Amino acid sequence: MDLNEELIHFLNTCPTAYHVVADIRDRLKENGFTALSEHDAWNLEPGNSYVVTRSDSALIAFRLPKKKLTGFMIGASHADSPALKIKPNPEMETDGLVRLNAEGYGGLIRYPWFDRPLSIAGRVCVREKNGIRTRLLHIDRGVCIIPSLAIHMDRSINTEGHVFSVQKELQPVFRAADDPTTFQTMLAKELGVKESDILAHDLFLSPHMPAALVGADQSFVSSPHLDDLQCTFANMKGFLEAKSPKSTPVLAVFDNEEVGSSSLQGANGTFLEDTLDRIRECLKMSDNAFLACCANSFMLSMDNSHAAHPNYPEKADPTNRPRLNGGIVIKQAAPMTYLTDARSSALVQQLCKKTNIPYQFFTNHSDIRGGSTLAHYFCEHLSVLTADIGLAQLAMHSSFETAGARDTAYMKNLTAAFYGAALKRTGDDLFSIQL
């Protein structure tokens, strides 16, 4: 229960990837991690721990061994979620009401965004005397709302399929036209700056609804952003709890997974590759030794998975049907949209059995195209044995999602064991997780 109360606080205070990364960076620094900057040359010392961020929304942390570096244990997740993003010059007046011009970010389910208070959060670039500073912003109150159309004006809404237009129907009402509080005025007041000094922003709408434990025995957690903050939170907690690592633990949190990962701060960028290469250089490893190190490494790509839905049982695979609170979900797909293969699946199962953590399997229904994760983008930059895992949830990509409350601890315990372990190879055919 204490872990889930902490998860709920994390979900409520981290509405965007920028807030997630700031929160995790601060926790790591409080636990003795030295902050690095990509803009400076690095001087890394064996036995020390470090954290570096990119573009305010991606983070990598690592602990260097006191002795020879022999491999990496990499745990990766993402901090972004499908949402509505506010465009520049957003105000639009119609019939005495001012709406904000917004567009979809990622594959969001559109209809749950109607008729609920929405807050605004993200980052703002502000001009200062010596340059431009990025400021975090979280207006933690109901700032706008997207009213649905009354049933009297569309009698078919409950009987016929309706495709909601983002540009027409998902533009949030912000203020009355005669209200002098403009969008720019509001931002300036919240940040304590002049309107003219606000240059640009990456701001998102977020449901102003707190995360909560639900169910007769409080066995479920419901919240915005569970995909993928439940995994990210558990991954971070396990990383901090890991003891006496036998390899080199690496925590990676990326942005823009929901839109293809192709950005500076996405998994298809070079952030992880650049960081590991800097480690190699600082430790004076040869290319040959570094490639051997990568071959002795293991990655867990952590992203929540679909649970079998009780109202739509036919949508799930006939034999692999994850359930809430059923433990770690090992995800596998023939088209390799998940990178799990027989070897990496066997290693995850071995780790779960050694640590008494339940696990289950997800595969797509053979007639339904599934999603993908950040893992397969890594292959374009770094060849490391990888397993895609997650936690089962319902209503993925809704503005409010539901997952198992007990599963958070399962993932935290798994990652704590994982970061303290090492991949052990004996020849080409024999391999195991060494705790």
pLDDT for position 67: 87
Residue with tokens 């050694």, as numbered in its chain:
354
Which positions of the chain have pLDDT values less than 50?
Answer: none
| Domain membership flag for residue 212 | no
Spell out the residues 6+ positions from residue 189 whose beta carbon is closer than 8 angstroms to its own.
none
Residue 120 sits in a domain whose CATH number is 2.30.250.10
Which of these three, 207, 239, 269, is where a domain ends? 207
Q: Is residue 216 part of a domain?
A: no
Check residue 274 and give its pLDDT.
96
Torsions phi, psi of 100, nearest 5? -105, 130
Domain membership of residue 8 (yes or no) is yes
Q: Within a domain: residue 293?
A: yes
Q: Is residue 215 part of a domain?
A: no
| Same-domain status, 193 and 68 | no
Same domain as 164, residue 236:
no
Q: Are residues 377 and 250 in the same domain?
A: yes
Domain boundary among 144, 174, 207: 207
Q: Are residues 93 and 134 in the same domain?
A: yes
258, 364: one domain: yes
Residue 214 domain-assigned (yes or no): no
Per-residue model confidence as pLDDT tens digits over 223-243: 999 999 999 999 999 999 998
Within-domain flag for 152:
yes
Residue 217 included in any domain: no
Q: What is the pLDDT, as a whole number, of residue 262? A: 85
pLDDT at 426: 84
Shared-domain flag, residues 291 and 360 = yes
Structural domain count, the chain: 2
Question: Do 320 and 424 share a domain, yes or no?
Answer: yes
Domain residues for the domain of 104 are 83-207
pLDDT value at residue 360: 98
Shared domain check, 267 and 379: yes
What's the pTM value of the predicted model, to 2 decimals? 0.96
Q: Are residues 87 and 77 in the same domain?
A: no
Q: What is the pLDDT of residue 103?
A: 98
Q: Say whether both 61 and 107 belong to one domain.
A: no
Rounded distance, CA 275 to CA 61, Å?
9
- Domain match, 197 and 235 both: no
